[in-house]
Structure formats: C-alpha cells, structure tokens
Chains A and B, each alone.
Chain A
Amino acid sequence: MTVAELVDGPLWTVALTVFVAGVAWRLLVLIATGWKRDLSHPRSGSLGGAIRGVVGRFLPSQGMAGRLRLHLVAGYLFHLGLFALLFFAAPHVDFYRDRLFGFDWTPLPHWAFILAAEAAFLGLLMLWLNRVLNPVTRLISESGDHAASVLTFLVMLTGCLALARSHETLRLLHFFVVELFMIYFPFSRLMHSFTFLLSRAAQGAHYGRRGVRV
C-alpha cells in the first residue's frame, strides 16, 4: 500500500471513526452524568432561557465589549473565517459530495475564499499570541490548548498550500493533517465546537427559571 492509498483509505476511515465515535461518546458521557432536578418554584421558563443563552452569548455582555476588543475581533475573525473555509471552500464542497453526502452546494468564489482564509489566519494568530503573552491565558492554558492551536494552524496552512490542486503531495499532506486533527478532536478542547451549545443552554435554562436574562 502506498502512502497515498493509506492516507486516502484506511487512515481516513480510522480518523472518521474516531471523530464520530469520540464526539458521540463525549457528549453521551456528559448527558449521562444526569441532571439534578430543581425543586424550587421557577420564576420563569427554562426553555426560553436556554434559547436566549445559546443565542445571546454570541454578543458580549453589557459593558464588556471595551475590555474584550481583542477577544471579540480575533474570535469572530477566526471562527467566521474557519466556518466559511470548512463548509464553503470549493475543494471541501467537492469532497463532501464525493466522499460523504452525495450532494453539493454553492461554494465560495475564489476571492471570498482568500478573504476567509486571511481572516481565519489573522484571528488564530491573534488568539494564540494572546494565549502565549497574556498573563491570564498563560496561567490557565494547558499543553492541549497549544496543541489544538498548532494543529488548527497546520490544517489551514496545508489547506492553502493544496488549494491549487496541482500537487497531489500537497493535497495528501493536507488530508493527513486533517486526519490527525480529527483523531485529536474528541480528546481535546476542540470539542467546544459542540459542547458550547450544551453549556450555554444549561446556563440560560438555569438563570432563565430564575427570571434572569443571560
């Protein structure tokens, strides 16, 4: 078996399996931990609170925007850029059609791809520099946080290198790094891509039943 066959075949299967099973297991364990029933009289509904919690947390709380300029700018640049690249980059749309879903959708034009990539790179670098230089994030960050940043950066970098689709080696390199990323994903804080929904909803519901808007 050649390296190309390995990366395109069994390694992809392993990565996809670990990713899907790992994410499912992690969410399952979280939910199976069980919810303590709250016996106090609610002042308001938890469902509305949960929805408000999920949606409302996209914006900074009152009076916080000024203190969080870097987090906001870098956070949105990175996440919006990455989302656009992941789901709307033309090679990715082709990949989803051919290897996963069997259908496609309209990809980003090339100029928008470049814009999204620049935004994502800029955002990620700003966030990582903040992690390394800010005494707060330096204190609370763990090796796993840095590993996630580095892996994400490598995925994006190799993706850009492979963009022209002219060199098979570069495409394979990108695919290989993506597979590593997928295997690492469920064991890391990259899982926040899923768990943020649970956490925000839980907080919104908790305070919602107390009549407090989060």
Chain B
Amino acid sequence: MPVDMNLFRGFVEQIRQLPAMAQPTDMPDPDRVRAAKAVFADKLDARLASHLDACVHCGVCAEACHYYVQSGDPRYTPIHKLEPLMRYWRREKGPFAWLQRLITRDISEQDLEDWQPLVYDSCTECGRCSFACPQGVDIASMVGVMRQALAKAGLIPAGLRAVEQEQGSRGTVFGVGGEQLMEAVEALRARGYEVPVDKEQAEVLVLSSTLDILLFTDALESTVKVMNHLGVDWSIHTCAFEGANFGMLSGYEEVQKAASERIIREAIGCGARVVIIPECGHAYPAMRWDAANEHGEPLPFDVMAISEFLGREVMAGRLKLKSGQRRPVTYHDPCKIGRHGGIFDEPRAVLEALGLEVREMPVHHEMNYCCGGGAGLFLIDSAKKNRDLGFDLKREQVEATGASSLVTACGSCRLNFLAGADRVHWDRGIESLVELVGEAIDGPGGAS
C-alpha cells in the first residue's frame, strides 16, 4: 500500500521540531578536546592505524562520494572528514609521534566544531569511498570513530541529539514505547491477526521500529503475516522491540550499548535462537556486528535482517509467494545491510519469487549509491541540501533502469526517497520488500 503522504508530511514536520527539544551539552573547550582524544585513543587499533598510514591523498575517495559527485565541493572528500583523527594518530600514537609533534598542529575545539558538519551532515557512512580506495582505506569505519569522538565532545547536531537523548533517558524514540507498540498490536489483532507479545519462550524474537509503528504500518503487519504464515514460534517484546539505535547513529556509545543490551537481555531471557531486525538499515549492523563487541562475548543467537530472513525462506522453498504481474522494478541495497552486511542475494531472490523483473541500476550491489539520507541525516536540518543531492543522483540511477518502482528494505532509505519524490513529484513507486511479501501470502497469517 502506498504511504499516506499527508501522514508522511506531518512526520517530517515533527522531525523539524526536534532541535528545539535537544538538551544542551555544555562543557569547557579543553574538556571537549580531551573527550574526543580519549575516543581516538580507545578506537585506534592496528586496522584503523594501517588505514590512516596507507592513505596517499590521491583523492579517489571523492569520486565515490555521492555528495562530492553531485556538488563538486572538495570539502566533501571523504578522507578530509578524518583530518583531526589523522592528526591525532600522527602526533600522539604514530611511529614518529615525537617528530610529528614538532610539525603537526594539535586538535583544537574549533577543529571539532568545524568538522561537525563534515562528519554528520555530509557523510552517511555508506562506505562507497572505502570500496573505491585503491589503498583499501576503510574511511566509513573511521567516520564512525569521528562521530563517536564528537558525540563524547558534546557536538552531536541538535536534531539527532534530541532523539539520542530520548532513547538514552526514556528508552523511547519519537515518544514511541511499549504502550504505543501495544496500540499497534491491538489494531492488528482487531483485524484478525494473532500477535504474540512478551512470550516467556520463543524461538524468534522479532523487533520493530518507531517508523513501522508510526508511518510504515504495513511493514509491521506484513512481518506479522509472514511469521504466522511460516508457523514460526515468535514473539515481540514491549520492552525491547525498537531496532533503531540512535546511540549508534549519533556516535554515543553508551546509548548504543544500552539499546543493544536491552534486546540481548530479552532474547536470552526468552531463549530466542534468532533475532529478526525490521526494515531499518543501521539497526542491522548495530545488532549483527556491533552488539557482541559491546556485550563482551559472542551472542548466543543469530541476528537476521528481515530481508535476509525472507530470502532464506524463499530460497529454502519454505516461503511460497503469489506471483503478481511481471513488472520491472529495481532494488536499492541499503548500505548498512548490503555493503556493510553482505546481504545482496536474499532480497533479489524474494523479488524473483514475486515474479518481478529485477533491473539493476548502473552501479549496484557493493557499489550501489546511498539513498542520501542514511546515518541519521534525516534528522539533521542542516543536511537537507545534501539529502536532496543524494536523492537526485539516486533518481538518475533508478530512471536509467526504466523500472516503474524502486524496492528497498530500509525505512530510513524510504524516508529519503519519499521526501525526494515529494519534492520533485517523482512518478516512480517506492516500495518495501516486506510489504510486497505480505501482499503475496496466501493462507494462515493473513487478516480475515
């Protein structure tokens, strides 16, 4: 079902109010610098150091960045976004630190402030630059470190900070908590769905997200439908349903860890073998790759993105889907699930099973362009120009395929596509993978 655009516009308007809700993060300048340096010291290991050391300032990374490609602004050169980190490495930890201290300027509070828009407004950590770098420099990972340093220095942009502070203090996102989840669940139950909530034992713990409760409600409904259709022993938990992790997006590690731990605790508590992540790009790496490292030991369950789960079920022949009209679509790999997660074949297998004709964009899979609004950029007011730039590039990519619709598996990507489409009155469909699956299921699980 298409998204109600009036609802969407209202949601966007709410986002614009976020900066006013952010609590100030005042601290003396030297403390900001000290806090940032402490993060650098903690995060710089041989992997990141080898990247910093190998860069030859060739500028290839700029040619991979959607913001540079569209604007031609050299400040958007990805490696430039790491300059304070690079300086720290040379002066404080590098092989010739004693010498570098004589010729390399120390990081100042002004540097941290100057780099805030480069690290937050003009980088979605999509990682395309990392894959283009001839030296193999993983720039995206280090932009993550830069965000962590700026977060510790109290320099998260206000809009993003407001949501991070809310999730950190109340555990809710946009005011959505267990109570609002139950309202959504009751609405589904009223339509005939069986929705297991807070089961003491369940093989699969399903997560959702605020976006799916407030805006993309069909995604939640389709997930319920699929789980019931497959006869999965599943549950959704009111105290740990939120997949979105604004600690991760903002770089504030304590909040990231707390959000992940809440889910880990519930999953272990109910004996889950699998945790399913909703269509939320960054929620996947937060649980799949980062959570175990924050937790301090390997997780005793698997973590799967919903697109991965659906694809595996289709590929194993357990999930049969009704083939609809064979129409051309293109698939947008959310960066955090594809390039950072290795999930490429599964969603395409689902689209094939749906009888759709999948047309690849001029660059796709590992080199797919970002939607332009990931990594929390949608919450940053000052990043609007860049979000639009990203969308315009993506629009060209989609139109080159001749597909009538773009399908994706990330709510954040959908947000940016919808905003762009609304701005330019784009005529292409923007669809969700799990919603398409929900519409193509026969038998139990569907609403009566």
Q: Are A200 and B47 in contact (CB under 8 A)?
A: no
Q: How far does the Cβ of B170 sit from chain A's closest Cβ, in whole Å?
A: 28
Q: How far does the Cβ of B315 sit from chain A's closest Cβ, in whole Å?
A: 15
Instruction: Flag whether B58 is at the interface (Cβ < 8 A).
Output: yes
> Considering the complex, which residues of chain A in the window 52-85 have a beta carbon less than 8 Å from any beta carbon of chain B?
53-54, 57, 60-64, 67-68, 71, 75
Measured CA separation A134–B291 after assembly (Å): 41
Measured CA separation A187–B298 after assembly (Å): 40
Instruction: Flag whether B232 is at the interface (Cβ < 8 A).
Output: no
Q: How far does the Cβ of A202 sit from chain B's closest Cβ, in whole Å?
A: 4
Q: With A40-B298, A67-B63, A203-B51 as given contacts, are A192 and B132 in contact (CB-CB < 8 Å)?
A: no
Contact with B along A35-50 (1 / 0, CB 8 A): 1101111011000000
Q: Are B56 and A189 in contact (CB under 8 A)?
A: yes
CB-nearest residue of chain A relative to B294?
A39
CB-nearest residue of chain B relative to A201?
B136
Measured CA separation A140–B365 after assembly (Å): 29
Q: Are B57 and A195 in contact (CB under 8 A)?
A: no
> Considering the complex, which residues of chain B in the window 60-109 have a beta carbon less than 8 Å from any beta carbon of chain A?
60, 62-64, 68-69, 72, 74-75, 77, 79-80, 93-96, 99
Contact with B along A125-160 (1 / 0, CB 8 A): 001001100111111111001000000000000000
Q: Which of A34, A131, A196 contacts B46 (CB 8 A)?
A: A34
Interface centre among B59, B93, B290, B340 (most CB of A within 10 A): B59
Q: How far does the Cβ of A120 sit from chain B's closest Cβ, in whole Å?
A: 16
Q: Are A199 and B57 in contact (CB under 8 A)?
A: no
Q: With A62-B363, A187-B99 as given contacts, are A136 and B77 in contact (CB-CB < 8 Å)?
A: yes
Q: Which of A35, A40, A189 contacts B57 (CB 8 A)?
A: A189
Please name all residues of chain A whose beta carbon is closer than 8 Å to the beta carbon of B154 when the two chains form the complex: none
Q: How far does the Cβ of B273 sit from chain A's closest Cβ, in whole Å?
A: 13
CB-nearest residue of chain A relative to B94?
A29
Please name all residues of chain A whose beta carbon is closer than 8 Å to the beta carbon of B95 when the two chains form the complex: 25-26, 28-30, 186
Q: With A137-B59, A141-B57 as given contacts, are A206 and B138 in contact (CB-CB < 8 Å)?
A: yes
Tier of interface size on chain A:
35 or more
Q: With A30-B95, A64-B64, A142-B57 as given contacts, are A199 and B136 in contact (CB-CB < 8 Å)?
A: yes
Interface centre among A30, A140, A196, A206 (most CB of B within 10 A): A140
Q: Are B54 and A192 in contact (CB under 8 A)?
A: yes
Q: How far does the Cβ of A132 sit from chain B's closest Cβ, in whole Å?
A: 12
Q: Are A204 and B136 in contact (CB under 8 A)?
A: yes
Measured CA separation A201–B136 after assembly (Å): 8
Instruction: Flag whether A211 is at the interface (Cβ < 8 A).
Output: yes
CB-nearest residue of chain B relative to A28?
B95
Q: Are A145 and B289 in contact (CB under 8 A)?
A: no
Please name all residues of chain B whose beta carbon is closer than 8 Å to the beta carbon of A145 when the two chains form the complex: 56-57
Contact with A along B30-55 (1 / 0, CB 8 A): 00000000000000111101110111
Interface centre among B45, B47, B75, B340 (most CB of A within 10 A): B47
Please name all residues of chain B whose beta carbon is closer than 8 Å to the beta carbon of A54 when the two chains form the complex: 136
Q: Which of B45, B74, B141 contacts A135 (CB 8 A)?
A: B74
Please name all residues of chain A whose beta carbon is closer than 8 Å to the beta carbon of B341 when the two chains form the complex: 210-212
Instruction: Flag whether B342 is at the interface (Cβ < 8 A).
Output: yes
Please name all residues of chain B whose beta carbon is closer than 8 Å to the beta carbon of A201 when the two chains form the complex: 136
Q: Which of B50, B132, B338 contacts A202 (CB 8 A)?
A: B50
Q: How far does the Cβ of B394 sit from chain A's closest Cβ, in whole Å?
A: 14
Q: With A62-B363, A136-B77 as given contacts, are A40 and B292 in contact (CB-CB < 8 Å)?
A: yes
Q: With A61-B132, A137-B58, A203-B137 as given contacts, are A44 and B342 in contact (CB-CB < 8 Å)?
A: yes
Please name all residues of chain A whose beta carbon is closer than 8 Å to the beta carbon of B62 when the two chains form the complex: 136
Instruction: Flag whether B339 is at the interface (Cβ < 8 A).
Output: yes
A-B pairs, 5 with minimum CB distance: A211-B342, A200-B136, A199-B54, A63-B363, A203-B136
Q: List 18 A-B contacts (CB under 8 A).
A: A28-B95, A36-B293, A39-B293, A39-B297, A67-B63, A67-B69, A68-B132, A71-B60, A71-B134, A135-B74, A140-B59, A187-B96, A196-B134, A196-B136, A199-B50, A203-B136, A212-B339, A214-B136
Q: Which residues of B contact A (CB under 8 A)?
A: 44-47, 49-51, 53-60, 62-64, 68-69, 72, 74-75, 77, 79-80, 93-96, 99, 130-138, 141, 288-293, 295-299, 302, 338-342, 362-367
Q: Which residues of A contact B (CB under 8 A)?
A: 25-26, 28-36, 38-41, 43-44, 53-54, 57, 60-64, 67-68, 71, 75, 127, 130-131, 134-142, 145, 186-187, 189, 191-192, 195-196, 198-204, 206-207, 210-214
